[in-house]
Structures are given as C-alpha cells and as structure tokens.
Amino acid sequence: MKKIIALIIFLLISACATTDNLSDLSKRFEEIKKIETLIFNQMPLPKDARISPDKSLILGEGDNWAGRIELSSSMEPLEASAFFTTEYPKHNWLLISSTKAKLSILVFTSNTRTLALEITEGGPLAAKSMIVMTVAPKVQNQALPDSKK
C-alpha cells in the first residue's frame, strides 16, 4: 500500500514539474516572438541571430517600445559590424558613431529612435559574436546644458 501511495505522489509531482517546464518554455517562446516582432518590423538582423530572452528586456509595445536585446551570431564581430553598417542605412538608420575594437560600438538614429549596438567576441563554447542592442525613442527638442555655468 505504501508503494502505491509513493508511486501516486511521485506521478503527481512529476506531472506538476512537467507542466511547469512546459509553462516556462511557453513563456520563453512568447517572449522571443514578442521581441522578434518588434525588431523585425524595424530592424534587420543577421540570418542566424538568436535572441536570448532571459537577457533581454522590452518595455512598451508597437512603435513606442524601448529596451535591451541580447543576440548571439555565428558571424565574426567585424563581420557583424559590417552587416549592421551596410544594412541599417538601407532601412533609414543613420550611423552617427562607430568604434571598432575588442568591443565595437555602433550608434544609429532614425526619425524617431536611437539604437546602440555593442558587439563582442563570444566565448569558446558560444557563438562567434555577442550583440547587445539598446533601443529607445529619440529625445526631441531637448535643451542643451549651458556650458557657461
């Protein structure tokens, strides 16, 4: 009798764990889809780019979203920099600053948004490059600080 009760408890616990894992997997899939929808409507990504939803944060929706998105790619860091430098101007993004080194930083603006890209080498067991995109609405008509004070 004790073995039957133990088996039933084990099966119930296993079923709950499986349901939780499926729920977590479903949430991660939904987060990735949300991020992809926001990005793909506005910004091209390398074909093999993989989004890390647990290292990404999106605030807002539609055209007013802001956030940080972490990607991995099999492109070398310089190849990834070249991709963004070539492709983004085709989608009405203007490159306003570029630093290419061990940590490459590209800054783009569009009519309504600002984008900073950080591109670094991946780890030995990871992708060849890690890309962090920080996107925010562009500040309009901001007063400049008075430098004479």
- Those residues whose C-beta lies under 8 Å from the C-beta of residue 34, and which sit 6 or more positions away, are 58
Nearest CA among 148, 136, 144, 128 for reference residue 42 = 136
Residues 6+ apart with CB under 8 A from 145: none
pLDDT of residue 6: 43
Q: Output the pLDDT for position 38.
A: 56
Question: Which residues of the chain are modeled with pLDDT < 70?
Answer: 1-42, 141-149
pLDDT, residue 74, reads 93
Query: What confidence score (pLDDT) does residue 93 get?
Result: 94
pLDDT digits over 26-66, tens only? 666 566 666 665 565 568 888 888 888 889 888 887 777 88
